[in-house]
Structure 1
């Protein structure tokens, strides 16, 4: 009795472990879940976020330079023992008069501040530039989110497509097996020649090779999908594609080109960087102007050089002043810096014009591609209906020996090709639809 209980417990444990193993191995993900996981795990998005944080802290750095800078300084110096005392020889005295004993241990502590009053507008230009670069980084981060989402869309639908094509080929192979059984029966009864039977066997083998290729493609697209959503490449994932929608907003080409030019994040980012380059020119030009600082220091020293004669004791004093610094001549250094900043501005302005043209071309191309894929879906649906009907008629004729094995092979090949073409066209349409929305600068996640 005890042994039976142990066996039952072991069997139950095995079942639980097996079930949990299957659950852990296979992950069925919807498109929404894939986007959530992928965006959370995206390395490119994390890098972009880091760049955004960098730009934010750079602005904080520039802002800090508008405020007074406080510094604490400390020093200890030990002089050699051969330092003589400070003595003064007077004409009326035969012996020199000793003013102070040598002080061998020197201590200095200083607490000071420096407040910029005028920097030739350099700090203002740098702050404006940092703000604009921060805005540009925000646009880059938003754009990177769209790019990551589109990559997930593409790999998701391609994974779905290869899985569906594999199912179509497997179904076609199963139908061929049934025809092959009938064909062998026809051959044994002398209704067909061996050559007819061999043709079907060759076609069956070719379809098996297609299935092997489809399984390999499925594995490749699964790995690509896993990579896109940032999980282990060996994870056994599945995609649960919902009912596909073939409806989309009817676009006016001129309107969507304007929308893209107004909405594209990379265009906004580059525009911000172009404006920042103007501030960079102003910052470089500021070196032609003087810089003025308010300074102040508090000293606590032993001996304190401000107190004479020097005494081996701590004394404190302070000072406040205004400092002016002006590069009167630096052998063209400032001119070179200004010229470099202006060339950067020219490059960014040209890049901005190029990007606008490229975006317009991209939108036009994606718009035409969407229309093309929509038409391909319609045509492939008609072709599939025709191939299914052709296959049905040919199969019936073959069963009554009114059609040859070649006719049957041709009908099966046409049907398989039509099914594959339709699956490909449907997925291409889904990707084309999202691709156009992305090129318009719309958020696709």
Structure 2
């Protein structure tokens, strides 16, 4: 019985350990999956969405002001009882005639409406401005999506790069271990000096330090990647980079600058805000014109002042009218508001010109950077081929004692540097390609 219980406990423990290992497995994410998760979790995108919703609500608010506004008012008033009732003395009557009894409890209910007929074109200007600001917020939201996607691209490829560099260093360390074993054998047989063996041991230790640093960089890159896609920083993730493509559209500089000017979301957004500022000037100028409203009220009161003499009972009445309001003189208030609106318009116009220049510079810079990184990939591939061949020849010579440990160390160092440079150049190219597409206003997700 005891043995059976022990067997069951062992089985249960194995199941628990197996389940734990499954939960601890790394999440291997492709670039597409990373973008989907990251855009769904992006806090910046959520903030931008709230700004879009705010602009939409603002337009709804302005539209509501074109419609009649209805209000219901209720009031109760208790009057003091120290006022004598209203009485009239008649010449042929010995006693004064009381016109009405004092009514101390007063109740008033009013249901009214106000419909704007003319507001100096203020509401029309405000509605146009709200529509333009909504369009601007839509462009901002689209731009924020591209920015979030680019951050994910960058974090993804940097994670891939640090992982590849770590693998290269680990592979180099393994090769050094093999050489070190051979070197110790050479030393024991008196084929090399102790100094030669110490040089390799020092190089091996230095490479170990490089591996420690690479592992630390990999962990930091993983955390940055997790943050970019909006998951727990401690999540065990890994990227599954597909075959890298080094083909890209051959651009004409003049064409891509025009494309950027026509497509960049922030430029469209600022253009909409500039047009909205013009409407803001019109809205401010509307205060120089009169406002006309159609009004109406329905009253249900006790006592009702329209009924004389006053009676302690509820009665109803109504009224309809047209109200005109005109600020004839307000000590420069309207002029100041118009001036403020015009200055805002001038600022936005200058910002628009400045943004166009910055976009042109950005596109030019990204275009040159893409060409540079493409050339770097080609040069580093050639350098790697040369360093691998140099390492092969030096390694063979060293095994036959035709090359010194110093020459072997130099060959290993050159090979490691070439492999690291190529991985860095390849990732820089992928990021540069996406960065240029983003600067052209293209959707990159």
TM-score range, shorter chain: over 0.9
> Residue 426 of structure 2 aligns with which residue?
426
Shift of 1:4: 3.5
How far apart in 2 are the matches of 1:195 and 1:91?
143
How far apart in 2 are the matches of 1:103 and 1:292?
38
How far apart in 1 are the matches of 2:416 and 2:11?
45
For the 8 Å contact 1:25–1:235, the answer to whether it is kept is no
How far apart in 2 are the matches of 1:10 and 1:315?
90
Shift of 1:163: 0.3
How far apart in 1 are the matches of 2:267 and 2:35?
25
Give unpaired runs (5+ residues) of structure 2.
Answer: none
Shift of 1:305: 0.7
Match of 1:67, SS state, is: coil
Matches within 5 A, 1:87-236: 87-236=87-236
How far apart in 2 are the matches of 1:245 and 1:91?
115
Match of 2:320, SS state, is: strand
How far apart in 2 are the matches of 1:311 and 1:112?
24
Q: Deviations over 1:304-347 (max 9, x none)?
A: 01111110000000000000000000000000000000000000
How far apart in 2 are the matches of 1:429 and 1:47?
31
Shift of 1:2: 7.0
How far apart in 2 are the matches of 1:98 and 1:21?
99
Q: Deviations over 1:136-194 (max 9, x none)?
A: 00000000000000000000000000000000000000000010111111111111111
Structure 1 length as normaliser, TM-score? 0.98
Shift of 1:87: 1.4
Match of 2:299, SS state, is: strand
How far apart in 2 are the matches of 1:294 and 1:3?
95
How far apart in 2 are the matches of 1:151 and 1:126?
37
Matches within 5 A, 1:245-264: 245-264=245-264
Shift of 1:86: 1.7
Q: Deviations over 1:110-136 (max 9, x none)?
A: 000000000000000000000000000
> Residue 404 of structure 1 aligns with which residue?
404
> Residue 417 of structure 1 aligns with which residue?
417
How far apart in 2 are the matches of 1:12 and 1:207?
43
> Residue 273 of structure 1 aligns with which residue?
273
For the 8 Å contact 1:109–1:299, the answer to whether it is kept is yes
290 and 366 in structure 1: CA distance in 2 versus 1, 3 angstrom threshold: same
Match of 2:238, SS state, is: strand
For the 8 Å contact 1:66–1:115, the answer to whether it is kept is yes
Shift of 1:19: 3.8
Q: Deviations over 1:77-115 (max 9, x none)?
A: 111232321212334444321001110110000000000
Shift of 1:56: 0.3
How far apart in 1 are the matches of 2:14 and 2:143?
49
Q: Deviations over 1:246-286 (max 9, x none)?
A: 11011111000000000000000000000000000000000
For the 8 Å contact 1:298–1:317, the answer to whether it is kept is yes
How far apart in 1 are the matches of 2:125 and 2:24?
56
306 and 224 in structure 1: CA distance in 2 versus 1, 3 angstrom threshold: same
Shift of 1:7: 1.9
How far apart in 1 are the matches of 2:133 and 2:220?
40
Shift of 1:6: 5.3
How far apart in 1 are the matches of 2:168 and 2:385?
15
Give unpaired runs (5+ residues) of structure 1.
Answer: none
- Paired residues in the alignment total 445
How far apart in 2 are the matches of 1:242 and 1:2?
54
Q: Deviations over 1:185-232 (max 9, x none)?
A: 111111111111111011001000000100110011110000000000
RMSD: 1.2
For the 8 Å contact 1:165–1:420, the answer to whether it is kept is yes
For the 8 Å contact 1:259–1:440, the answer to whether it is kept is yes
Structure 1's consecutive aligned runs of 4 or more residues displaced over 6 angstroms after TM superposition are: none
